[in-house]
């Protein structure tokens, strides 16, 4: 596949996948999601690869979720892909990160917001730069991920914190994320990729079959969330066409205060 939105590099057992859309803070469009799935499948297929690193290009962002500028009332332009209703193959992307039988490490180099936050949550491990910021934003911009984004997040940080994250849409520092168990380690920004390489090296020394079975065991305990995710994405496809959702999208694009009060009838 010709890659336009993603950089893909394989070296010494490590596959590094970088979302490369820094102008939009590494937000993803349909093509980006398709390329991410392709890269993950290539890493899955390649027996010399033992660990995958997911990160974002530049210093500002890991990923800020769906590209709001590519979102229409019909969802996203899927360019013929299996959009699953919203035009983005997010369900397949989530399932691929979970099912690839190798650890996936999120190297969070900046903002991990919205659907970008969900991506790091699904990854097996997260190493964060000390200037990374974490948060959900859907209810502010007329969107939500009520699958892995909510149910699996609650497994990680607990019900109260997960509800706070979604209901208030605040941003959290890397240290706050560490305190709530949302990330594994915080390092000075300039050390991020060295630290990730060290974690990869430790993983590469371990038995691949043992790691694979452990990952599947962890996954099995939350496997039911896939069904919740399908319902969530199905309902999101219907929600995106509503005036309420479009108010959220338009307010972000127009850089103005959002007004959801009129929908409280
Ligand atoms: C990251 C934020 C907080 C940075 O704010 P700051 O520093 O004030 O910079 P900005 O001027 O806002 O941004 C810099 C430039 O980057 C563009 N940009 C940033 N994020 C996006 C984006 N997601 N889409 C398109 N453009 C983006 C800005 O427009 C700006 O460019 P210029 O200067 O040219 O205007 C702030 O940017 C922010 O809050 N971004 C997040 C936006 C967002 O709404 N993300 C998606 C929200 N979705 C969800 O929360 C849940 C939904 C979900 O998980 C999901 C599930 C299935 C399918 C899709 C999604 C999905 O993520 O939508």
Q: What distance, in Å, lies between the first and last C-alpha atoms of the chain?
A: 48
Surface-to-core class of residue 159, CB atoms within 10 Å of its CB (0-12 exposed, 13-18 middle, 19+ buried)? exposed
- The percentage of residues in the chain with a pLDDT greater than 90, rounded to a whole number, is 91
Where does the pLDDT of residue 184 fall: very low under 50, low under 70, confident under 90, or very high at 90 and above?
A: very high
Residue partners of 87: CB distance under 8 A and separation at least 6: 30, 74, 75, 76, 77, 78, 81
Backbone angles phi, psi at 136, to 5 degrees: -105, 155
Residue with tokens 């699996």: 152
Local structure of 74: helix, strand or coil = coil
pLDDT for the residue 265: 77
Q: Is the per-residue pLDDT at 70 higher than 90?
A: no
pLDDT in tens, 12-55: 999 999 999 999 999 999 999 999 999 999 999 999 999 999 99
Query: Residue 68 has what pLDDT?
Result: 87
pLDDT of residue 71 exceeding 80, the answer is: no
At 192, the pLDDT band (50, 70, 90 cuts) reads very high
Annotation: binding site:
64-68, 76, 111-115, 143, 240, 255
Please check the confidence at residue 84 and state whether its pLDDT lies above 60: no
Summarised one tens digit per residue, pLDDT across range 115-132 is: 999 999 999 999 999 999
Q: How far is CA 72 from CA 31, 87, 196, 239, in A?
A: 15, 10, 37, 12
Q: What is the mean pLDDT of the chain?
A: 94
* pLDDT for res 80: 44
Architecture of domain 6-191+205-219 in CATH?
Answer: Alpha-Beta Complex (3.90)
CA of 143 to the centre of ligand 1 (A): 12
pLDDT of residue 231: 92
Quick: pLDDT tens for 93-104: 999 999 999 999
pLDDT at 77: 62
- In this predicted model, which residue has the larger pLDDT, 218 or 240? 218
| Model confidence at 140: pLDDT above 70 | yes
Mutate to test the pocket of ligand 1, among 63, 82, 114, 247 (most ligand atoms within 8 A of CB): 114
pLDDT for the residue numbered 92 = 93
**pLDDT score for 87:** 84
Task: Look at residue 111 and tell me whether its pLDDT is greater than 70.
Answer: yes
Helix intervals (H) in the chain: 30-45, 90-99, 115-122, 138-141, 153-157, 159-168, 174-179, 192-204, 208-220, 225-239, 243-253
pTM of the entire predicted model: 0.95
Cα four-point dihedral sign 104, 235, 137, 82: positive
Domain ranges for the chain, please list them: 6-191+205-219
**Is it the case that residue 86 has pLDDT exceeding 90?**
no
Orientation angle between helical segments 90-99 and 115-122, nearest 10 degrees: 20
- Binding site for substrate, residues? 64-68, 76, 111-115, 143, 240, 255
Q: Give the number of the atom of ligand 1 that is nearest the alpha carbon of residue 252.
A: 44
**Span from the CA of 240 to the centroid of ligand 1 (angstroms):** 16
- Give the mean pLDDT of 230-248: 93
Instruction: Tell me: pLDDT of 144 over 70.
Output: yes
């Amino acid at each position: 596949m010709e890659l336009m939105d993603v950089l893909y590099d394989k070296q010494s057992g490590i596959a590094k996948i970088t979302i490369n859309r820094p102008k939009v803070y590494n937000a993803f469009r349909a093509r980006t999601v398709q390329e991410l799935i392709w890269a993950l499948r290539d890493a899955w297929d390649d027996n010399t690869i033992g660990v995958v690193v997911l990160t974002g290009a530049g210093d500002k962002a890991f990923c800020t979720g769906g590209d709001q500028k590519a979102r229409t009332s019909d969802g996203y332009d899927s360019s013929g892909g299996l959009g699953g209703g919203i035009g983005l193959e997010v369900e397949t992307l989530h399932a691929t990160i979970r099912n690839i039988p190798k650890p996936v490490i999120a190297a969070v180099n900046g903002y991990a917001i919205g659907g970008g936050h969900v991506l790091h949550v699904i990854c097996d491990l997260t190493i964060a730069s000390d200037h990374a910021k974490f948060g959900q934003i859907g209810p502010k911009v007329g969107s939500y991920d009520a699958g892995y984004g909510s149910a699996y997040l609650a497994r990680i940080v607990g019900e109260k914190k997960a509800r706070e994250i979604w209901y208030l849409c605040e941003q959290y520092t890397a240290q706050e994320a560490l305190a709530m168990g949302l990330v594994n380690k915080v390092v000075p920004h300039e050390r991020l990729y060295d630290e990730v390489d060290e974690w990869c090296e430790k993983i590469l020394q371990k038995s691949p079959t043992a790691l694979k079975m452990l990952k599947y065991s962890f996954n099995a305990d939350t496997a039911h969330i896939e069904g919740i995710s399908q319902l969530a994405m199905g309902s999101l496809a219907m929600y995106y066409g509503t005036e309420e959702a479009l108010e959220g999208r338009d307010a972000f694009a127009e850089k103005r205060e959002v007004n959801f009060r009129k929908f409280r009838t």
